[in-house]
Amino acid sequence: MSLMITDECINCDVCEPECPNNAISQGEEIYVIDPNLCTQCVGHYDEPQCQQVCPVDCIPLDPSHPETQEELYQKYLVISGKA
């Protein structure tokens, strides 16, 4: 399951450089996460790095993109060119 950024985002830019998959970018109004690139940090870290650094806790799991741990790991392998 990828994560999503809610409209509570204050555009502080802290999360973007922390993402190991370059899944976070500045959207039209707030920062956004590409669900095709977010692995919940599986393959890189034990915890989602963006959630760890967000000062306003506005990065929950996105229920519209359900994925198992195995699917997230397979996504990581493809994104990182290891598949």
Residues that bind ligand SF4 (CB under 6 A): 3, 5, 9-15, 18-19, 21, 23-24, 31, 33, 38-41, 48-50, 53-54, 56, 58-59
Q: How far apart are CA 18 and CA 33, in angstroms?
A: 12
Give the shortest CB-57-to-ligand SF4 separation in angstroms: 8
Give the shortest CB-46-to-ligand SF4 separation in angstroms: 11
Give the shortest CB-13-to-ligand SF4 separation in angstroms: 5
Tell me the C-alpha to C-alpha distance, in Å, between residue 50 and each of 10, 28, 81, 82, 83.
Answer: 14, 19, 22, 23, 25
